[in-house]
Structure 1
């Protein structure tokens, strides 16, 4: 495994190149180009604000900020998960010609979407300023939550990229799985905003308790909206188990890369 990690270190320039090319490819043929990095999360916020806040009248105080934080954090999760299924497959022609550590490709997906998330933070900051919401000193912990989300998504990306090589149907299933997690997480809702009946619903409490996405999104809101500390116990457990999963997956990659080549 040490040799494998050294090989990844040697290929760090390739990782940087793939991230740069991935960013360029996303909006290469669009008229607005890189402006979509800001416009896309903004349009998502406007759509769901109209749906939940206007049509369903489930918005509350500062609902716009509540919504933009959830949707920007979710966008990073959604794009990483859906992109990871093809992370290795789309580079099959290169992999069959040159030896490369295959784990570099899911790392590229997660890192590329991290940069897109940074542009989403600009949208969040704009909403905070527009609504007069001032984060407290707890905002200094924002990079910690971003790091926890990064390692969480990297673990998922490594797993999905590997398994998708052998089970191609995973890519077709993911869109449905992510949709379930979207509605099972407090992205566009919280207990009180679903209606009075939801406030005492034990299943909502369970979903928020065991759902790592709920902990991450709520952590962002605690820091940026509520001027309070997030639930560090839940967040650090997510980070710890994600790091363990990454180590296990990297080891598994190092022992089974020949199987990936055969499957491609």
Structure 2
């Protein structure tokens, strides 16, 4: 395990290269290029606002609902794109992996880091909505980096797990789409509160996505503290999973090569 981590640190230049190439590849052949990092969350926001407010007639009396929606969609977008791209993180580079020895965990780590840069541009969109609708965060906004860090740990843990499983069971890639859709509707992303029956409130309470979204809104919209205990639990479990997955990678890298 210790030697494996040392090998990863030796390959940090590769990690940086994978992140840079991933960022360049996303909009390489588009006219607007990197502007899509701002435009995409804005268009996503417009679509769901039209669905919920205009078509369904919900929350039209909530003046800050667009801010609520922007925070939910942008934070969810980071999760959704990270998990989806992580499922192919190792398989995508199979030709390189079969020729040169590289710590396989670097590929899902690079995927998670790439999507974090995309989320940084999403924060600009959130700031625009905060200014546009006159929502002023309180001093609690200093906890925002903590929430981002916890979400990053959570996504690294998920990425390492999903990337490894998808090497051996390619069908998981298709199943993930439905699992993520379930989390989308079971979390307070476009709805205020939960759309689940009251007897299923415990699902939302134990949902890490809901905890993270509520924490973002607490410090950005409501001038209140995030749920520190729940964030600590998510962070602790994420660190444990990351440690176990790195150990598992170090012991089973030869199996990954055979499966590819």
- Fold shared, TM-score > 0.5 on shorter chain: yes
Q: CA deviation at 1:234?
A: 0.7
The equivalences for 1:177-192 within 5 A come to 177-191=179-193
Q: CA deviation at 1:248?
A: 0.3
**Residues 1:229 and 2:225 aligned together:** yes
Q: Which residue of 2 is the match for residue 150 of structure 1? A: 152
What runs of 5+ residues in structure 2 fail to find an aligned partner?
none
- CA distance in structure 2 between the partners assigned to 1:251 and 1:61 by the alignment: 49
- CA distance in structure 2 between the partners assigned to 1:39 and 1:224 by the alignment: 21
CA-atom RMSD in angstroms? 1.1
Alignment coverage as a number of residue pairs:
258
**Residues 1:202 and 2:199 aligned together:** yes
Q: Which residue of 2 is the match for residue 5 of structure 1? A: 5
Q: CA deviation at 1:38?
A: 0.2
Task: Please give the per-residue CA displacement for 1:74-132, whole angstroms capped at 9, x wherever unaligned.
Answer: 00000001001100000000000000000000001100000000000000000000001
Q: TM-score, normalised by structure 2?
A: 0.97
Query: Do the aligned partners of 1:53 and 1:63 also contact (CA within 8 Å) in 2?
Result: no
- CA distance in structure 1 between the partners assigned to 2:14 and 2:207 by the alignment: 34
The equivalences for 1:62-73 within 5 A come to 62-73=64-75
Runs of 4 or more consecutive aligned structure 1 residues displaced over 6 Å after TM superposition: none
Q: Which residue of 1 is the match for residue 250 of structure 2? A: 254
Q: Which residue of 2 is the match for residue 127 of structure 1? A: 129
What runs of 5+ residues in structure 1 fail to find an aligned partner?
none
- CA distance in structure 1 between the partners assigned to 2:141 and 2:189 by the alignment: 20
Q: CA deviation at 1:56?
A: 1.1
